[in-house]
Structure formats: structure tokens, C-alpha cells
Amino acid sequence: MHMLMAQGGPIAGRALLSLLLAFVSGTLWASVAARTGPTHNKVVVCYISTWAVYRPGQGAYSIENFDPNLCTHAVYAFAGLDITQSAIKSLDPWQDLQEEYGKGGYERLTGLKRSHPHLKVSLAIGGWNEGSKNYSTLVANPQQRGHFVKQVTGFVRKYNFDGLDLDWEYPTQRGGSPQDRENFVALTKELREEFDNYGLLLTSAIGASKNVIDQAYDVPQIARYLDFLHIMCYDYHGSWDQKIGYNAPMTAAPVDPLSVQYSIDYLLKLGAPPAKLVLGLPFYGRTFKTVSQGNVDDASDGVGFRGPFTREDGFLGYNEICSILSNKTSGWSTTWDGATSQVVARSERNVFTQDVSVVTFDSSRSIANKVKFAIKKRLAGVMVWSVDTDDFLGKCEPDEDTYNDFRLVKTAPRRLNQNYPLLRTINEATSLALEELAADEVVVPDDSENEIPHGSIADRKNSAATLVSLGLMISSVFALLHSLQH
Ligand SMILES: *[C@@H]1O[C@H](CO)[C@@H](O)[C@H](O)[C@H]1NC(C)=O
Ligand SMILES: *[C@@H]1O[C@H](CO)[C@@H](O)[C@H](O)[C@H]1NC(C)=O
């Protein structure tokens, strides 16, 4: 400041200062006025399984239950493939479309962009029930592929979607052919070329198991053409194993490729750019029935059990799980496993069947830890399957251990709303993990070990980070003033 006065005189200095203040407050005002959605710069991709509208009672989820402020991207799941026309089609015209007095789900979701300009909305094609065979047929034929690319572009634009999410589960698998691997690259390439004419997003759900990755995906090639790869880091274990296992373990034994960490590290090793990888998080658990104690690896019946809302064997939504666990007379107990960041919940033994019911799932703490992992790996962000099984009505008590594995927080941030505890955890944990990462990157001087510590190491690193960013701010103010003078 002193130098500035000497060069430009007090008048010029004051004028510059008020200019600067106007600039700073103007920017702040603009960002306050226009800002909707998460405040961090990572992606939060929210799948909505739109058939959730048919669930009974408080399990029913409609687009009006969606909270656009908690996600950067929404994905409408699913549309289907009409192989006879090489075309995308609605799987539920009454829910999806407005025609013939339909409920217009596509446009109700994309309409949220008017009040929430940050939000990007994609349409997903595929899903487990669509199988693989018809997709395999489509991509094998260049004419059919070309027709599909044009038609799907028109379809996506007609309903005001921002893009398409490919959910073919999976190329080369479940009735697909070995050629799917290269044909899938061709499909993504041709979609990319067409989508670039309209600024549309192209993403894909990607299987997380090593076997599927090896056979289905030419990772460097598809990563060239896709904006984001949504890695489905769940269903590692389930009732089909006929023994109890973790749905989405963070880690596994060294030789075991069935873990979140293995999937992500493997994709990075194969050449996926971290900035295009999106870590998938399950808002559900896998269920088991066993006559043993109910520990991991105990033999189980191969079917599991179902919940009152989702009504699918072997599957329980987080909202169904937290409802059981917050019932003090239900007799369930939980165990946290630190190595995998998973929770195992068990019922008391049923006196008639002698069974113990077990569910392995992601609690808020699991979600927070996986967000931290994604941030550390410098991924684009996280994806959730799916928002409709979060505790979207806020019926359960919030978890108290959510940030136990974070260094820079002692207590969880206060929330104005109790609903969507898992989605809120994602957004809080993203900001907290970014702060931790920034604190870690501050170079602590070597003689710091000789200082008398004031507060924890984390506190010192934190204040160092603040000082560094303050320093950056001051130096950029000087740079600005300097450039204004010339
Ligand atoms: C694949 O296409 C055929 C022919 O249109 C159709 O009958 C079949 O249901 C499709 N498969 C799936 C799993 O949707
Ligand atoms: C709580 O669990 C008990 C025992 O399973 C059950 O009878 C009761 O209906 C449950 N309460 C609620 C509110 O679900």
C-alpha cells in the first residue's frame, strides 16, 4: 500500500481502493444472488430410480421429493432401448411423458433447472432389467448405431435434458459378445461427435468389478469420449454369495479385488483421468439370513430378505435400515468395521425360524469416509444410487459418529433440516475433506518439531492453511492494483 501511494499519489490510491471494494462486493453479491446448489466444486451425481413413485406409504418417492440444492447433477433412471427402431424409448410413458394426460416426469425434473440454474439433468438409458443383448445388437451395426445417435440426440433435447447417461450393464456380459468392447467405444465416439454440436453431456455407469472392467471397457478410449465415468462401487457382495459379505467395502484383503479402493486404483492404473472418475456410493444395503451368529463370512440362505418399501429380496434402502435401527424395541444391534467402513446390523434370533437377519450397509460415517477417499484421489466427485432410499423424509435420528474419522472436526456441522442425512453428509464431507487436503498440502517448516505445540498438529496445519490463503489473497490484490496502474 505504501508503495502504491508513493507512485500514484493519494487520490489515485483512494480511487483504486474504492474501485477494488466495488469490484469485490459486486462479485460477492453476484455469487450470492445467482448461486444455487452445493458450495464446493466437486460433482454430486444423484440418480433417481423413478419407479420409486410406486412404493407404498412413506417409501413412495416422486420428483417433488427431490431436493436440487443437494446435487450438482440429477439422472433420471431409466429409459429403455427399442431395438426394432434403434431408438431410445420411455419405459413408463404415463409417468415420464405429458402426452395422453401423462404425468410428465421428464419435464418436471428438467423444469427444476429454471429455479436451480446450477443443476444438470441427464436421462439414463439401460439399467439391470434391460439386460445386455439388445445393446450388443445395436452397437454391432454401424447403420443402427448411426440412427440411434441421431434419434437419441433429438429425444434428449426435446425434453430439455442436458445429456445422456449410458447404463448398459454390461458390454460383453449377460448375453453380450466380445466385440462389445470396441463397439462401445465406437458408440461413445459417435455420440460425442453429435453431442458436441449441442453442448450435451455424455456419461456412463461403469461396473466396478475387475472381471467386468477387464472384459467390458477399453478404459482410455471411453474416457476420451465420456465427460464422466460413474463407477458403481457397490454390490461387491450380496445374498447370491450364499455367505454374509459387505455390500461396498472400502478395502479388502490384499489379493481380493472386490473393494472400492481396488476398483478406483485399478481404473486409474488403466489410464482413467481422475478428473473424470465419479465414485458411486450406495444408499442401500445387502441383506442375508443365517442360522449362524450373523458375522461376515457366515453361511447364508442365498435369498436374504426384503423391506416394506423397496420389496426386493436381498436389498434394503437406507431409509428402511435406519427405520429398523431407530426402533429401540426392534432388538437389532450394529457393529462398525473400520477397515471396510461398513456397518453390519443384526436382528435377534427369530424363535420360530432360528434365523438371524443381517444387513451390511453404508452409514453416514461410511459415506463421509468414502467422500474423503474420493477427494484424496482427486476424483471429480461422487455419485449416489439412489436418492429415493435416503431418509428423504427425515424420519430417523441423525448418526452421531459421522465425522469420527476426520481430523479437522470435533462435532458435525449443524443442520437446519433433518431430511436427506446421507446427501447432506456428502456435501459437508466434501467441503471438510477439501479443507483437510489443503491443510495437508501446506509445507510445514522443518523446525516446527522444535516449537512448543499450541493445539493439535491439525490445528496448526489448519491455521497455516488460512495464513497461506490470506497471503494469496493479499498478493492478488496487489497484482490487481498493479495491473490497473499500467
Ligand atoms: C430386446 O428386444 C426384444 C425385441 O424388441 C424385446 O422383445 C425384448 O424384450 C428386449 N429385451 C429386453 C431385456 O428388454
Ligand atoms: C418396533 O419393533 C417392534 C418389534 O419388532 C415392532 O413390533 C414395532 O411395530 C416396531 N415399531 C415401529 C414404530 O415400527
d(CA 476, CA 117) in angstroms, rounded, equals 29
User: Residue 470: which pLDDT band, with cuts at 50, 70 and 90?
Assistant: very low
Q: Is 41 exposed, middle or buried (0-12, 13-18, 19+ CB in 10 A)?
A: exposed
Q: What is the model's pLDDT at position 101?
A: 93
Q: Tell me the CA–centroid distance for residue 181 and ligand 2, in Å.
A: 49
- The pLDDT of 325-336, averaged and rounded, is 96
In ligand 1, which atom is closest to the CA atom of 81? 14
d(CA 348, CA 351) in angstroms, rounded, equals 9
User: What global pTM score does this model have?
Assistant: 0.86
- For the sheet with 356-361, list strands across it: 315-317, 284-290, 356-361, 342-346, 333-337
Share above pLDDT 90 across residues of the chain, in percent, rounded to a whole number: 81
User: Residue 441: which pLDDT band, with cuts at 50, 70 and 90?
Assistant: confident
Cα pseudo-dihedral 425, 431, 432, 435, rounded to 10 = 170
User: 130, 169, 435, 436: which is the annotated catalytic residue?
Assistant: 169
Helix, strand, coil content of the chain in percent (nearest 5): 45, 15, 40
Does residue 58's CB lie within 6 angstroms of at least one atom of ligand 2?
A: no
Q: Across all residues in the chain, what is the average pLDDT?
A: 89
Distance of CA 98 to the CA centre of its chain: 29
Sequence-separated (6 or more) residues with CB below 8 Å from residue 345: 285, 321, 324, 325, 332, 333, 334, 335, 358, 359, 360, 361
Q: Which CATH number fits domain 36-282+364-440: 3.20.20.80, 3.40.430.10, 3.30.300.30, 3.40.50.2300?
A: 3.20.20.80
Are the C-beta atoms of 152 and 164 separated by less than 8 Å?
Answer: yes
pLDDT tens digits for 265-309? 999 999 999 999 999 999 999 999 999 999 999 999 999 999 999
Window from 49-63, 82-96, 243-257, 396-410 with minimum mean pLDDT: 396-410
- The pLDDT of 432-447, averaged and rounded, is 82
The answer, yes or no, to whether residue 410 has pLDDT greater than 50, is: yes
**Domain map (residue ranges) of the chain:** 36-282+364-440, 444-486
SS3 305: coil
d(CA 89, CA 82) in angstroms, rounded, equals 6
Does residue 36's CB lie within 6 angstroms of at least one atom of ligand 2?
A: no
| Ligand number with the minimum distance to the CA of 78 | 1
User: Can 194 be counted among the known catalytic residues?
Assistant: no
Q: Tell me the CA–centroid distance for residue 91 and ligand 1, in Å.
A: 12
Does residue 327's CB lie within 6 angstroms of at least one atom of ligand 2?
A: yes
In ligand 1, which atom is closest to the CA atom of 129? 13
Q: What is the model's pLDDT at position 442?
A: 81
Q: What is the model's pLDDT at position 477?
A: 47
Q: What is the model's pLDDT at position 444?
A: 62
Are the C-beta atoms of 243 and 331 separated by less than 8 Å?
Answer: no
Q: Tell me the CA–centroid distance for residue 134 and ligand 1, in Å.
A: 7
- The pLDDT of 76-98, averaged and rounded, is 98
Share above pLDDT 70 across residues of the chain, in percent, rounded to a whole number: 84
Q: Tell me the CA–centroid distance for residue 253 and ligand 1, in Å.
A: 40
d(CA 429, CA 435) in angstroms, rounded, equals 10
For cell 442365498, name the residue: 302
Sequence-separated (6 or more) residues with CB below 8 Å from residue 290: 244, 298, 299, 300, 301, 355, 356, 358
Are the C-beta atoms of 388 and 419 separated by less than 8 Å?
Answer: no
- The pLDDT of 185-192, averaged and rounded, is 98
pLDDT tens digits for 13-40? 445 445 444 444 444 444 444 689 999 9
User: Residue 413: which pLDDT band, with cuts at 50, 70 and 90?
Assistant: confident
Q: What is the model's pLDDT at position 284?
A: 99
Does residue 134's CB lie within 6 angstroms of at least one atom of ligand 1?
A: yes
Are the C-beta atoms of 253 and 236 separated by less than 8 Å?
Answer: no
Report how far apart the first and last C-alpha atoms of the chain are (Å, whole number): 16
Are the C-beta atoms of 113 and 119 separated by less than 8 Å?
Answer: yes
For cell 453476484, name the residue: 30
Nearest CA to ligand 1 atom 3: 83
pLDDT tens digits for 140-172? 999 999 999 999 999 999 999 999 999 999 999
User: Residue 446: which pLDDT band, with cuts at 50, 70 and 90?
Assistant: low
Q: Tell me the CA–centroid distance for residue 50 and ligand 1, in Å.
A: 21
Sequence-separated (6 or more) residues with CB below 8 Å from residue 208: 231, 232, 233, 234, 236, 260, 263, 280
Task: Please name every residue paired with 315 in a beta bridge, in sequence order, or none if there are none.
Answer: 286, 306
- The pLDDT of 210-215, averaged and rounded, is 98
Window from 31-40, 135-144, 181-190, 420-429 with minimum mean pLDDT: 31-40
Of 322, 329, 396, the one to substitute when testing ligand 2's pocket (max ligand atoms within 8 A of C-beta) is 329
d(CA 302, CA 322) in angstroms, rounded, equals 23
Task: Please name every residue paired with 337 in a beta bridge, in sequence order, or none if there are none.
Answer: 342
More confident residue, 354 or 475: 354
Q: Tell me the CA–centroid distance for residue 344 and ligand 2, in Å.
A: 20
Concatenating the DSSP letter of every residue in 412-476 gives PPP-S--S-HHHHHHHHHHHHHHHHHHHHHS---GGGGGSPP-S-HHHHHHHHHHHHHHHHHHHH
| Ligand number with the minimum distance to the CA of 332 | 2
Nearest CA to ligand 2 atom 11: 327
| 3-state SS string for 200-245 | CEEEEEEECCHHHHHHHCCHHHHHHHCCEEEEECCCCCCHHHCECC
Q: What stretches of 330-426 adopt beta strand conformation (E)?
A: 333-337, 342-346, 356-361, 381-385
Nearest CA to ligand 1 atom 8: 134
Concatenating the DSSP letter of every residue in 51-116 gives GGGGS-GGG---GGG--GGG-SEEEEEEEEEETTTTEEEES-HHHH--GGG---HHHHHHTHHHH-
The answer, yes or no, to whether residue 465 has pLDDT greater than 70, is: no
Q: What is the model's pLDDT at position 476?
A: 52
Are the C-beta atoms of 83 and 137 separated by less than 8 Å?
Answer: yes
